[in-house]
Amino acid sequence: MFLKRLFGRKPQASKVVDRDQLIETALHSPDSAARRDACHALVDLPTLRQVAYTDAIIGIRELANARYRNLLCGLDPQSPDLSERLAELARIDDQGLLSQAAIQASDAQLRGMAIDAVDAQDVLVSCAIDDALAANRLRAAERVHDKSALEQIARRAAKRDKTVYRLARQRLKQISDSEERPRLVRAQCQTLCEKLERLGRFENWVQDHALLGHIEQQWAELEAEADIGIHNRYLKLRQNFVDAYNAYAQQHAAQLAEAQAQADAEARRRALVAELKELAAMNNLDQIVQRVAEIEQIWDDIQPVADKAALRAYREALTMAGEQRATLEDDARRERIAATLLDDAKALLKRNRELDRKRVAALRQRLERLRSESEGHRASSHLGECAKILEQLQQRIDKQRDQAARKLAALPERLAELDRHFEQGKLKKAEPLYQSITATLKQARAAGLPRQDLAPVELHLKQIAPQLHELQRWRRWGADTKREDLCAQLEALAEDSELEMEPMANRLRELRNLWRELDRNGAPAEDALWQRFQAAGNRVQEHCQPFLETRAKIRAANQKQREALCKQLETFLNQVDWERMDWKKAARAEREMRQAWSALGPLEGNRQKPLEGRFRKLLRQLDQALDAERQKNRAFKEELIQRMLALVEEPDLRRAIDMAKDLQQQWQTTVPGRQRDENALWKTFRSASDAVFARRAEQQQARDAEMREHQTTREEICDELVTLIDTCSDPDSLRADLHSLEKRWHDTHGLPLPRQVVQGLQRRWNTTFDRAKACLQSLEAKARWTAIEHLEQRAAFCDKLARKLIATAEQAASNTEPNSPEDAGADATAAAWAALPAIDDPDLHQQFDRIFTQIADAANNADAKTRLMTSMAEHARQRIDLCLHLEITAGTDSPPELHQQRMELQVSRLREHMGDGAADPIADAFTLLRKWYLCTPADAIAGLDQRFARVKQALTVAQQPSGDE
């Protein structure tokens, strides 16, 4: 009767309604109501499409068409998987259906596929403006070609989607350009002809010839669309220019050769700059000195530099090489000083004589000064050895001081001995003893003994000074002996006829110098000795006279050359125009003048000094002019530096950079100063200009840093999400944290990011967020199953307790002896009940507590026991019905005797679903399981627990996730 009321016809026996049956009913059932109901339940898209096209009743076709569209667009909860809907959409060509899918489909991928197939411009306009996905909006806009539709998109998408707006504007411009093409072609052809007419007018042949190639490229694009008149005009103008250019090219060969020479010179300059940079990294001082001089000469030999950047690069490289040279020279100088110090210390250590305390102290000061100079530089390898030797010298000084003190203590006895020698007139013994005492006194002074200890000895020596005069007279006698020896040598030289004149003249000069030295140091010579020496010298000079005359002629020629050089310098100074002076050439001329003067030979002694003074005076005038220009150039450079420093604070950065470039062009050196000063000025100027250009880099770095910070923020959010997935086990906490992170992520949408990481970060967020949602679903499922397990434990406890209570009561009824109350058993049962896992739901917890209280009351109350037995029977019947519902939900088999009841339940579910589309309550397996466990206590039904176990196993496999996310 139930099925008859539902379908109006006799139901088939125990046949389960399934998908194939619904398809068969929808396609072939003669009952229109059955076909209509089947269309309500169908989710098979091909079947619905077939019904929508082939059913005889228009209402059913419209119903099938409407459900087909809803399912295809994903608007119905029972819609098939996206892959199935995409495959179905690929098989249809109905523009109306495609239009609906393009606009209404819930899945962006499905809308995109429909957009690719739809042709209606108004639909594409709607999708290009209103679609939620930017990629679909762009897809739709790319398929719009109608001008009015593009204008509508441009007007409505201007503030929504900049990409779509730009595409629409670009398409509109292309349409406008195509409409204006003929007029533009003619105008462009006319313009090209006018450009051809102007070629060669100002004789800029190279530029015009290059421009001709550009014009020909443009003409090649327009030639097919040009009319015959313009075409002939273009050819004539082109031929005229080509003829003129060929005439010019023949005359321009020399200029091209010169340009090639300049290019070669520039390449040589670049090679020289590169070599200078390599020299700046070398540690071979001799090679750097030699090669830098060669490079400077080669650079000067190359024609003047036209490229200021090349000159600046050369100067910078030369400066770097000079700095490296200075560093190596300093290292070499310190190494030489250390080696000299070491040699001096070793020489002093090797001396067997007594050491001078001041010399050792001086060596120590030199060592300390060298150590201070070596701070921050490469230290010499000799310093350690020097320190050791100085320590040994100090030990010797200390030992020497002790010896000097002992010798000084013995001086009174030696002074007494000296006095005895003087009294006895024994000069030979007195003189060495006097020298020994003097040496001892000197040693004592050198050792630093107190002056009061030396004063008695010094006083005694002064008192015996008269006796020393006698010894000095004896020394003068020795000087006369030496003069006689000089006379003999000079007479022998005069007699030597085999000796060449040049060495003879040189020897004569040496002997005369020795005679003068004796005159300066001793008493004047006797007149006889002087006459003898003079006569021998005159004879030697007469013999060397030819050589002396030849030398005089050479020195006279040298004098003429020096006078000519002075005259040339005077003429230059008198005629020079200082206002138009080429200062670089003037500095080079001054240097060459000095070199030429130094290269000339010597003059006669009395003529060398006046000419030297004249030349120095003239050269001083040129040096003063060069120095004035040097100071002027330095002042100009300092002004440029101040102006460059002012640009550092210029608020308008673009203007500051333009002005800085202009100042760099103005930096020129006319007369260079000291290399160190020039380098310091250039470094200051370069630092100021670098500071100006660094501001632009700082702005860019600030933008980059901001974007990197935003990137780091997003990466940290993703990292926190990953950590949350890996560590969180509480679904409520995970849900709250997930919502917080999602809000933080959306708050960063408007922040600028590096373009290359935007898509990657978004993909990482999407992937990780999907994992988080899957993890949340997994945790929620685990929590639900845990709650079900807690319900199961309490329900099993109640079933066991109630059944035991009933069995005990029945056993007691058959016995004649009364049972005593078991308070201890009740307490143990209450404790076991309290020890069961808690239930999170307060309502369920209260219901189970009431159930437990009812069972406990039934233990001592007959009426309560009767009510308990009645409720157990009722709960058993409810569990039978619930078990059948659960078997339908889990898809497990039911006993054969319940097939009819199961089919009625399935048809009832289908009817309710078709009537109002509401969700089937028995589909919620967890609701049915909670109802099952609330139906406790219940009587034991044969086979029911085994059926329920199969259902639970099937639900566990079907609804529990396959693995933890």
Range with lowest mean pLDDT among 394-398, 594-598, 932-936, 956-960: 956-960
- DSSP 3-state of 907: helix
* pLDDT tens column, 545-595: 787 777 778 777 877 888 888 888 778 877 777 777 777 778 887 788 788
Torsion of the alpha carbons at 677, 682, 687 and 688, rounded to the nearest 10:
110
Question: What local confidence, expressed as pLDDT, does residue 477 receive?
Answer: 61
Question: What local confidence, expressed as pLDDT, does residue 9 receive?
Answer: 41
**For the purposes of burial, counting CB atoms within 10 Å of the CB of 3, is it exposed (0-12), middle (13-18) or buried (19 or more)?**
middle
Please, are residues 537 and 490 in contact by the beta-carbon 8 Å criterion? yes
Cα separation, 830 vs 848, in Å, equals: 13
Cα separation, 875 vs 881, in Å, equals: 10
Please, are residues 422 and 467 in contact by the beta-carbon 8 Å criterion? yes
Which two three-digit tokens encode residue 813?
A: 């009824």
Question: What local confidence, expressed as pLDDT, does residue 467 receive?
Answer: 59
Residue 10 scores a pLDDT above 80? no
478 compared with 175, residue with greater pLDDT? 175
* pLDDT tens column, 755-784: 888 888 888 889 988 888 888 888 877 877
pLDDT bucket at 882, cuts 50 / 70 / 90: confident
* pLDDT tens column, 821-855: 445 567 788 888 878 888 777 887 788 788 888 88
The whole-number average pLDDT for the span 904-925 is: 59
Range with lowest mean pLDDT among 468-472, 549-553, 961-965: 961-965
Residue 5 scores a pLDDT above 50? no
- Cα 651 to chain center, whole Å? 28
Could you tell me the sign of the dihedral formed by the alpha carbons of 125, 126, 131, 136, in that order? Answer: negative
Which two three-digit tokens encode residue 629?
A: 């220009």
Question: What local confidence, expressed as pLDDT, does residue 963 receive?
Answer: 43
Cα separation, 165 vs 129, in Å, equals: 9
Please, are residues 429 and 445 in contact by the beta-carbon 8 Å criterion? no
Residue 735 scores a pLDDT above 60? yes
Question: What local confidence, expressed as pLDDT, does residue 381 receive?
Answer: 66
Please, are residues 912 and 918 in contact by the beta-carbon 8 Å criterion? yes
Cα separation, 832 vs 797, in Å, equals: 9
Task: Fill in the amino acid letter for 445.
Answer: R
Question: What local confidence, expressed as pLDDT, does residue 965 receive?
Answer: 41
Cα separation, 801 vs 895, in Å, equals: 29
What single DSSP character describes residue 667?
-
* Count of Cβ atoms closer than 10 Å to residue 659 Cβ: 17
Question: What local confidence, expressed as pLDDT, does residue 99 receive?
Answer: 86
Cα separation, 937 vs 681, in Å, equals: 103
The whole-number average pLDDT for the span 299-326 is: 75
* pLDDT tens column, 46-88: 888 888 888 888 878 888 888 888 888 888 888 888 888 888 8
Identify whether 961 is preceded by a cis peptide bond (ω within 30 of 0).
no
- Residue 588: name the closest of 880, 845, 299 by CA: 299
Output the furthest CA–CA distance in the chain (Å, rounded): 182
Question: What local confidence, expressed as pLDDT, does residue 144 receive?
Answer: 86
* pLDDT tens column, 267-282: 877 787 787 778 777 7
Stretch (H or E) spanning 706: helix 675-727
934 compared with 331, residue with greater pLDDT? 934
> Phi, psi (5° rounding) for residue 868?
-65, -40
* pLDDT tens column, 203-232: 777 788 888 788 888 888 878 878 888 888
Please, are residues 433 and 417 in contact by the beta-carbon 8 Å criterion? yes
As a whole number, the mean pLDDT across the chain is 78
pLDDT bucket at 962, cuts 50 / 70 / 90: very low
300 compared with 132, residue with greater pLDDT? 132
pLDDT bucket at 725, cuts 50 / 70 / 90: confident
Helix (H), strand (E) counts: the chain: 38, 0
Cα separation, 233 vs 627, in Å, equals: 66
- DSSP 3-state of 8: coil
Cα separation, 612 vs 615, in Å, equals: 5
Rg (CA), the chain: 60
Question: What local confidence, expressed as pLDDT, does residue 918 receive?
Answer: 45
Question: What local confidence, expressed as pLDDT, does residue 378 receive?
Answer: 66
* pLDDT tens column, 412-464: 887 787 777 766 656 556 667 777 877 777 777 776 777 777 777 777 777 66
Question: What local confidence, expressed as pLDDT, does residue 2 receive?
Answer: 33
- Cα 67 to chain center, whole Å? 60
